[in-house]
Amino acid sequence: MLKAHNIKKIKYVLLLLVGLTYYLLGGDLGLSDSSVPSGSAAGSEVYAAFQDKKSDVQVRGYGTVSRVLPDDLKGSRHQKFILDLPSGIGILVAHNIDLAPRIPQLRKGDKVAFFGEYEWNDKGGVVHWTHHDPSARHIDGWLEHDGEKFQ
């Protein structure tokens, strides 16, 4: 019988394999949104965190840009956009452009992979910390678009 910590390890390894496959295929898994069931490996960390109303969770996934929002210029500047994940959840991505390069010419329909910290809200949540931490106190995050990593 599998113990809970072993199941978490297996889920983590599966997620890493999905991410590696995504990377090796140049960011295209050949999946349409309708072909990925809710809770599947792609974005399952975000789906689980959303369902459990958890925050401060390190997550990895990918999605399709459904909306590009104006930059947030108050305090630290952030590039903001909404990603629709294969699990059916939409998340806000808040990418700190004071610490990392912005994704140039981001458009609706673009595919973006991410690694960052998830914060729950009833609209789907926010992913931030998608950049390096210059003080090395937080796990470095990133965004990937068109084969280029932004961190």
Per-residue pLDDT of 105-123, as tens digits, reads 999 999 999 999 999 999 9
Rounded Cα gap, residues 83 and 68, in angstroms: 9
Rounded Cα gap, residues 81 and 120, in angstroms: 16
Provide the token pair at 56: 């401060």
Give yes or no for residue 132 having a pLDDT over 70: yes
Count the domains in the chain.
Answer: 1
Q: How confident is the model at residue 14 (pLDDT cuts 50, 70, 90)?
A: very low
If you search the block for the tokens 């106190």, which residue do you land on? 137
In this predicted structure, what is the pLDDT of residue 139?
A: 94
- Give the range of the structural domain holding residue 144, as residue numbers without chain letter: 4-150
Per-residue pLDDT of 22-73, as tens digits, reads 444 454 433 333 333 333 444 678 999 999 999 999 999 999 999 999 999 9
Provide the token pair at 148: 């280029």
Least confident of 33-37, 75-79, 124-128, 145-149: 33-37
pLDDT greater at residue 4 or residue 110 = 110
In this predicted structure, what is the pLDDT of residue 17?
A: 41
In this predicted structure, what is the pLDDT of residue 44?
A: 79
Specify the CATH number for the domain of residue 22: 2.40.50.140
Q: What is the mean pLDDT of the chain?
A: 81
Rounded Cα gap, residues 17 and 4, in angstroms: 20
- List of residues 6+ apart from 20 with CB closer than 8 A: none
Tell the burial category of 94 from Cβ atoms under 10 Å away from its Cβ (0-12, 13-18, 19+).
Answer: buried
Rounded Cα gap, residues 108 and 55, in angstroms: 27
Maximum alpha-carbon separation in the chain: 52
> In this structure, how many other beta carbons lie within 10 angstroms of the beta carbon of residue 130?
25
